Amino acid sequence: MVAIRVCNKCNNNCIMCSNYFVRNLDETERTFSNLLSRIKEKEPTPKEITFTGGEPFINQNIFELIDKFRELYPKTKINILSNARMFSYFKYALRFKKHLDKNMQIAASLLGQNSKVHDSITLSPGSFKQTVLGIKNLLRLKIPVELRVIVLKQNYKQLEEIAKYIIKNLQGVKYVVFIFVDLVSNALKNKEEVAVSYTKTIPQLVPAMSLLKNNKIYFRLYHFPLCILPTEFWENAWISVEKMKIRETRICLSCPYSKYCVGILKGYYNTFGEIEFKVPEKVNLILGDNPFHQIKGIEK
Ligand code: SF4
């Protein structure tokens, strides 16, 4: 997977934004040829390209970029990270649909179950209403949506309510991803305000995951080490970051499950240390063949 930043502007101002970008920097370098050379440097024939920002749909040339990349890489999956606010304009969502194909999806972030929670994270009044309307418009047009819930201090106590909100209002999303806040960039700058421990988060996350599971809404977990999760949810945990972002610890080096576990993110380790992590008791894994997500279940 290769990620390219297609825009330096954003209509949100998220307190925990983990994207390294200079806001409102001149966009002239975001041309197709510049972006393409970045892809080729990293992975000449990528299986998946993720468009990030800023907000990709603030880029006036986004549809042209999509078309050009599609022409060059007809079978590559294209995943576009977005706050979905632009899609609150139904005509804009319709316009996007013309550039869509079966290997493309929007990964939209929902940060709360109401304006109070969501907008306190985006620091952008009115963003919740637009995001929800945007996601609903995408679903109405049958555009595939991955729903991303970034978990941080502002919303970890609301996770069950967020799950209820999704079940009630956003049926039709392909799947939900809970992403534990990565303490880099803005999130690192605002660490005191956004950082929360796994120990506090997991008891709030478990009822949310159970609710989704009972309602047959599939979910993934990004940045959640296996040993802080109940084993029944190991099959949802993905290896969501590259090795360079992980702190190697003696505990993990001696852990038989390290191959299947994301590990401890450096930002987390520097803030909370390693006290919460321990080698899990032995279980027998049923494995699949996705390098980012090998655990298919636990033998009973
Ligand atoms: S000890 Fe380390 S490798 Fe093992 S499950 Fe915990 S975080 Fe993952």
pLDDT in tens, 253-298: 999 999 999 999 999 999 999 999 999 999 999 999 898 999 999 9
Cα–ligand 1 centroid distance for 129 (angstroms) = 39
The model's pLDDT over 81-130, given as tens digits with 9 standing for 90+, comes to 999 999 999 999 999 999 999 999 999 999 999 999 999 999 999 999 99
Q: Is residue 201 part of a domain?
A: yes
Helix (H, G, I), strand (E, B) or coil at 42: helix
Cα–ligand 1 centroid distance for 221 (angstroms) = 15
In this structure, are 24 and 110 located in the same domain?
yes
In this structure, are 184 and 287 located in the same domain?
no
What global pTM score does this model have?
A: 0.95
Helix (H, G, I), strand (E, B) or coil at 206: helix
Of 22-36, 86-100, 167-181, 268-282, minimum mean pLDDT range: 22-36
- Residues spanned by the domain of 64: 2-222
In sequence order, the 6+-apart residues with CB closer than 8 A to the CB of 89 are none
In this structure, are 122 and 253 located in the same domain?
no
Question: How many whole angstroms separate alpha carbon 159 and alpha carbon 128?
Answer: 16
Q: How many domains does the chain have?
A: 2
- Segment 181-201 shows an average pLDDT of 95
Measured CA distances, 224 to 32, 150, 282 (Å): 35, 12, 19
Q: What are phi and psi of 153, to 5 degrees?
A: -55, -35
In this structure, are 165 and 216 located in the same domain?
yes
| pLDDT score for 37 | 79
Cα–ligand 1 centroid distance for 246 (angstroms) = 11
In this structure, are 256 and 200 located in the same domain?
no
In this structure, are 91 and 210 located in the same domain?
yes
- Among residues of the chain, what percentage have pLDDT more than 90? 82
Ligand 1 interacting residues, C-beta cut-off 6 A: 225-227, 251-252, 255, 257-258, 261, 263-264, 277, 279-280
More confident residue, 43 or 262: 262
| pLDDT score for 20 | 64
| pLDDT score for 14 | 94
Q: Which two tokens stand for residue 37?
A: 């050379």
Q: Is residue 228 part of a domain?
A: no
